[in-house]
Chains A and B, each alone.
Chain A
Amino acid sequence: MNLKKEIRVSTLFISLIVSIMTILLLPIFLDFNLASNSLGDSLLNINEIETNSANGVTSVVTYFRGFDTLGEVTILFLSIFGIGLGLDGYRDKLNIFAYENRLLKSSVDILFPLIILFGFYIIIHGHLSPGGGFQGGVIIASAFLLMFLAKGDEFSLNHKIISITEALSGAGFILIGILGVLLVDRFLGNFLPLGTIKELFSGGVIPLIYIFVGIKVSAEITALVEYFIRIKDVR
């Protein structure tokens, strides 16, 4: 009885506080005008002056919010690390998803380089067209997934090469950030010539960052796919 009373009083108290705060904050929400002078508009205005990148989304992701992208890449790395800790305990692993299909087996040798080329195209043209490091990296990983499905146990990856690639690309990202601190004013600042807008060599440091992010993401997702697709030999 006493306990019930206590819970009721605390609930009443919390709801009172919430309602008071809502009443206090309501004018701020109502005054907020999205149409005039929002953050996105001002960033797009700066984008035309500071970076010669044709894709405004890319310049926000890698230049104005480059530090956030570093955090995202770190989160992805940590999640893959956790999956590796959970699933990498087995020495002799078997690919049980090899799909016996002649059409798939004969077409995968032609499709594999084409998909990888398309992934690198998406990564390198991230500052010109939609896409970028994350999307292109996952496309490259999907090419490796196709190889796993078609070839089965004949195709396996060297984990040492994957981890070295991932570590080097992550270090390259941070190195570019530190060079920005040393040569210009801020972390991930632009220290390269800007070039002409809508050309391949434009945008200063943005394509470099996206190439590093793309290689890192592709290595991570490829490792993830291999962890999931191989299973311990139970025979």
Chain B
Amino acid sequence: MIGLIVLAIFITLIILAVLIIENDDLPHSVILFMGFGLGSVILYFIFSAPDVALTEAVIGTGISGVVFLVTLLQIRSKEIKR
């Protein structure tokens, strides 16, 4: 059962990675990246690495996604005001 869950998450992560790279809309891509982080959090937890899972949840899904989004918004606002 747990093997099936792991397999499903692996396939989802591969599809998400392809979508992240191939997406033209950058904010959309960042949100998919945060979803990728969430999937890898579950994987780390299943593979009994809760420390790494917590780090990934906080840094990979939280702060880095927000920093990416904020940077994109800053660039756009400068482009609009020009």
Contacts of B55 in A (CB 8 A): 134-135
Does A128 sit within 8 A of B, measured CB to CB? no
Number of interface residues of B (CB under 8 A): 18
Least Cβ–Cβ distance between B1 and chain A, in angstroms: 24
Interface centre among A135, A145, A221 (most CB of B within 10 A): A135
Least Cβ–Cβ distance between A110 and chain B, in angstroms: 20
**Residue in contact with A229 in the complex, picked from B51, B59, B70, B77, CB distance below 8 Å:** B70
A57 touches B51 (CB 8 A): yes
Measured CA separation A141–B78 after assembly (Å) = 26
Interface centre among B58, B67, B73, B81 (most CB of A within 10 A): B58
B59 touches A132 (CB 8 A): no
B54 touches A130 (CB 8 A): yes
A145 touches B66 (CB 8 A): yes
Measured CA separation A58–B54 after assembly (Å) = 13
Least Cβ–Cβ distance between B79 and chain A, in angstroms: 12
Contacts of B59 in A (CB 8 A): 134-135, 138
Q: Given known contacts A130-B53, A231-B77, is B70 in contact with A142 (CB within 8 Å)?
A: no
A142 touches B62 (CB 8 A): yes
Within 8 A of B (CB), among A100-139: 122, 130-132, 134-135, 138-139
B77 touches A228 (CB 8 A): no
B77 touches A96 (CB 8 A): yes
A61 nearest CB neighbor, chain B only: B51
B66 nearest CB neighbor, chain A only: A145
Measured CA separation A130–B71 after assembly (Å) = 31
Measured CA separation A232–B8 after assembly (Å) = 46
The range of chain A's interface size is 20 to 34
A97 touches B70 (CB 8 A): yes
Does B26 sit within 8 A of A, measured CB to CB? no
B63 touches A221 (CB 8 A): yes
B81 touches A234 (CB 8 A): yes
Least Cβ–Cβ distance between A131 and chain B, in angstroms: 5
Least Cβ–Cβ distance between A35 and chain B, in angstroms: 17
Known: A55-B51, A130-B50, A228-B71. 20 other contacts (CB 8 A): A57-B51, A96-B73, A96-B77, A130-B51, A131-B54, A134-B55, A135-B51, A135-B55, A135-B58, A135-B59, A138-B58, A138-B59, A141-B63, A145-B66, A224-B67, A225-B63, A228-B67, A229-B70, A231-B74, A234-B78
- 24 interchain pairs, CB-CB under 8 A: A55-B51, A96-B73, A130-B50, A131-B51, A131-B54, A132-B51, A134-B55, A134-B59, A135-B51, A135-B54, A135-B55, A138-B58, A138-B59, A138-B63, A142-B58, A142-B63, A145-B63, A145-B66, A221-B63, A225-B63, A228-B67, A228-B70, A228-B74, A234-B78
Which residues on A are within 8 Å of B, measured CB to CB? 55, 57-58, 96-97, 122, 130-132, 134-135, 138-139, 141-142, 145, 221, 224-225, 228-229, 231, 234
Which residues on B are within 8 Å of A, measured CB to CB? 50-51, 53-55, 58-59, 62-63, 66-67, 70-71, 73-74, 77-78, 81
